[in-house]
C-alpha cells in the first residue's frame, strides 16, 4: 500500500528561490523536449526515446546550458520522461497533443531528489 502525506511548505526566501529555480528548469526542459519531438515528427522521423534525449541534454549542459547544472539532474530526467510520456499518449490516441508549459498559467511541476529531502522535528529540509 502506498501512503501519501499532504504538506504545506513555508520556505525561507533563499529556499523559495531554489524552488522557483527547480520549477523553471523543469519547465524549460519539458518545453525543449517537446520542441525536439515536434521538429523530429515534422521531418518525418520516428519518436525519440527519452534516453537519447537525456544524452543530448547532458551534452548541452556541458557546452551551452551550464546553468542547468545548478539543480539536481533528477529534475531534468523527470521532465524529459514526462514530455516523452505525453507524446506517447498522444500517438496512442489517449490524449490531446501536449502543449508547452507556461510561466503564468497551469500547474507548476516540482521535482525534487528524495535523497535531498530530510524531515526533522516536524520540519522538512531541502538540501
The DSSP-derived string for 95-118 is: SPPP----SSSSPPP----GGGEE
Establish if 45 belongs to a structural domain.
yes
> Residue 119's pLDDT is what?
76
Establish if 93 belongs to a structural domain.
yes
- Report how many domains make up the chain: 1
Establish if 3 belongs to a structural domain.
no
Give the mean pLDDT per block of 10 residues along the chain (127 residues): 75 86 89 90 83 88 84 85 88 84 74 69 70
Establish if 1 belongs to a structural domain.
no
CA dihedral sign of residues 115, 121, 123, 126: negative
> Residue 121's pLDDT is what?
77
CA dihedral sign of residues 67, 70, 73, 77: negative
Establish if 7 belongs to a structural domain.
no
> Residue 72's pLDDT is what?
79
Establish if 42 belongs to a structural domain.
yes
Establish if 68 belongs to a structural domain.
yes
Establish if 105 belongs to a structural domain.
yes
- The 10 Å Cβ neighbour count of residue 21 is 14
> Residue 87's pLDDT is what?
86
Domain residue limits at 78: 13-126
Whether 83 contacts 36, CB under 8 Å? no
> Residue 32's pLDDT is what?
92
> Residue 118's pLDDT is what?
74
> Residue 111's pLDDT is what?
65
Amino acid at each position: 500500500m502506498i501512503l501519501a502525506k499532504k504538506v504545506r511548505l513555508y520556505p525561507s526566501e533563499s529556499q523559495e528561490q531554489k524552488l522557483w529555480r527547480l520549477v523553471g528548469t523543469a519547465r524549460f526542459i519539458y518545453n525543449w523536449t517537446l520542441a525536439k519531438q515536434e521538429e523530429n515528427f515534422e521531418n518525418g522521423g520516428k519518436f525519440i526515446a527519452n534516453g537519447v534525449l537525456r544524452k543530448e541534454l547532458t551534452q548541452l549542459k556541458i557546452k551551452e546550458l551550464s546553468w542547468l547544472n545548478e539543480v539536481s539532474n533528477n529534475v531534468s530526467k523527470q521532465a524529459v520522461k514526462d514530455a516523452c510520456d505525453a507524446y506517447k499518449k498522444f500517438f496512442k490516441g489517449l490524449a490531446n497533443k501536449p502543449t508547452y508549459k507556461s510561466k503564468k498559467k497551469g500547474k507548476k511541476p516540482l521535482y525534487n531528489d528524495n535523497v535531498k529531502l530530510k524531515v526533522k522535528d516536524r520540519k522538512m529540509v531541502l538540501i
